[in-house]
């Protein structure tokens, strides 16, 4: 940031957006966080809360065009394809329209590595073929195309970051299943998963604001794709608990089709000057594991 002061706006201050905003406030930015409901964590972290719904045209009509960066971390809140269409595609279309009358330095949008549907365990990078397997992934692809088109034809400084499975404090679906004893290995457990710690996602988004090239896509994922089996073996060893049973049926209802791919972060590391605090799940889950072991020891 070089001590410079810029106003920044974060659309949708949820799990990742709040952490991103918190860091930007600490670096001296003035940050506004938008959500549909009031969350006291925003103000508590120095973020000016704005209540609004980015899928509504009225929201964009009353928005002041006075921002250096816009960071869009909205999620579908586990919604279906209709919600995806509203929250990702339509809201971005409104934003592109709004940007006709205003200038910003960067627009960073968080997409997902679920745009890749590869099932062969191959490595994928930003130039790999997109093969969305689900309706929701197809909407994410359509949204990315809308932004890339706007970068080409409208000179919108849009940068897309694709996040893999986010985990961190109080978040981590498979970890929580393992801890509660409800985890099950999906079939052989040999399918690769790709993950990113919340803090590294936030630092990657800020790096994309600072160093991202408009019209480019960057993968924000850690260094080590891991199979489900390897992940459970790690937890089993660290927490001294048995391995979950293998199950032919998935352990939980899944919205995502079972892809099997390893996502490369090479471009983001090289071009965004992005440094990982948690290069793999081993470092990333260490604080949660230590807390569980401590509380078990305290109870003895
Ligand atoms: N979770 C994953 O593993 C994963 C994987 C790949 C990519 N991603 C992407 O990563 C990004 C960050 O995810 P996250 O886990 O931080 O999301 P999150 O915790 O669910 O936060 C999303 C935020 O969006 C707000 N929001 C939802 N609809 C809105 C609307 N119409 N107008 C204004 N605000 C709205 C929600 O607040 P209100 O409900 O108060 O409005 C919430 O604060 C998302 O773009 C997500 O798609 C996530």
Ligand 1 atom showing the smallest separation from residue 39 Cα:
40
Q: Is 34 in the pocket of ligand 1 (CB under 6 A)?
A: yes
Q: Is 40 in the pocket of ligand 1 (CB under 6 A)?
A: no
Domain assignment of residue 81, yes or no: yes
pLDDT tens per residue across span 58-70: 999 998 778 899 9
pLDDT tens per residue across span 77-90: 888 999 999 999 99
Segment 177-183 mean pLDDT: 96
Q: Which two tokens stand for residue 84?
A: 């995806």
pTM of the model: 0.95
- Looking up tokens 């940007």 gives 99
Predicted local confidence at residue 249, as pLDDT: 56
CATH number, domain containing residue 143:
3.40.50.720
Q: Is 13 in the pocket of ligand 1 (CB under 6 A)?
A: yes
Domain assignment of residue 191, yes or no: yes
At 5, the pLDDT band (50, 70, 90 cuts) reads very low
Segment 114-131 mean pLDDT: 96
pLDDT tens per residue across span 216-269: 999 999 999 999 999 999 999 999 999 999 886 554 445 455 899 999 999 999
Domain assignment of residue 232, yes or no: no
Which amino acid residue places its CA nearest to atom 43 of ligand 1? Answer: 14
Q: Which two tokens stand for residue 72?
A: 């869009």
Q: Is 96 in the pocket of ligand 1 (CB under 6 A)?
A: no
Domain assignment of residue 236, yes or no: no
What's phi and psi for 274, nearest 5 deg?
Answer: -95, 130
Q: How far is the CA of 298 from the centre of ligand 1 (A)?
A: 36
Domain assignment of residue 249, yes or no: no
Domain assignment of residue 246, yes or no: no
Domain assignment of residue 92, yes or no: yes
Question: How many structural domains does the chain have?
Answer: 1
HSE-up (13 A, CA, CB side) for residue 217 = 23
At 109, the pLDDT band (50, 70, 90 cuts) reads very high
| Domain housing 190 | 7-225+254-295
Predicted local confidence at residue 299, as pLDDT: 84
- Looking up tokens 């409901």 gives 37
Predicted local confidence at residue 257, as pLDDT: 57
Give CB contacts under 8 A, 24+ apart, made by 232-239. Answer: 232/174, 232/178, 232/183, 232/185, 232/189, 234/281, 234/282, 235/175, 235/178, 235/285, 235/289, 238/289, 239/178, 239/179, 239/289, 239/292, 239/293
Domain assignment of residue 300, yes or no: no
């Amino acid at each position: 940031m070089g001590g410079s002061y810029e106003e920044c706006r974060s659309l949708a201050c949820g799990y990742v957006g709040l952490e991103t905003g918190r860091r930007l406030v600490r670096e001296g930015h003035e940050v506004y966080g938008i959500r549909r409901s009031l969350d006291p964590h925003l103000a508590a972290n120095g973020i000016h809360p704005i209540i609004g719904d980015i899928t509504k045209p009225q929201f964009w009509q009353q928005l002041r065009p006075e921002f250096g960066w816009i960071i869009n971390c909205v999620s579908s809140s586990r919604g279906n394809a209709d919600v995806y269409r509203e929250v990702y595609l339509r809201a971005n279309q409104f934003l592109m329209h709004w940007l006709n009358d205003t200038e910003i330095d960067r627009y960073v949008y968080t997409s997902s590595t679920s745009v890749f549907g590869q099932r062969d365990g191959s490595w994928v990078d930003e130039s790999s073929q997109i093969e969305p397997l689900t309706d929701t992934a197809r909407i994410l692809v359509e949204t990315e195309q809308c932004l890339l088109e706007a970068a080409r034809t409208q000179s919108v400084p849009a940068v897309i970051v694709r996040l893999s499975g986010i985990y961190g404090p109080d978040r981590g679906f498979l970890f929580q299943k393992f801890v509660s004893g409800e985890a099950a290995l999906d079939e052989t457990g040999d399918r690769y998963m790709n993950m990113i710690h919340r803090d590294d996602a936030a630092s990657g988004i800020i790096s994309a604001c600072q160093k991202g090239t408009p019209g480019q896509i960057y993968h924000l994922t850690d260094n080590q794709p891991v199979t489900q089996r390897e992940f459970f073996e790690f937890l089993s060893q660290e927490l001294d608990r048995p391995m979950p049973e293998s199950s032919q049926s998935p352990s939980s209802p899944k919205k995502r089709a079972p892809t099997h791919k390893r996502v490369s972060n090479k471009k983001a590391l090289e071009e965004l000057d992005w440094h990982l605090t948690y290069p793999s799940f081993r470092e990333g889950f260490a604080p949660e594991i230590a807390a569980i072991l401590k509380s078990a020891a305290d109870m003895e």
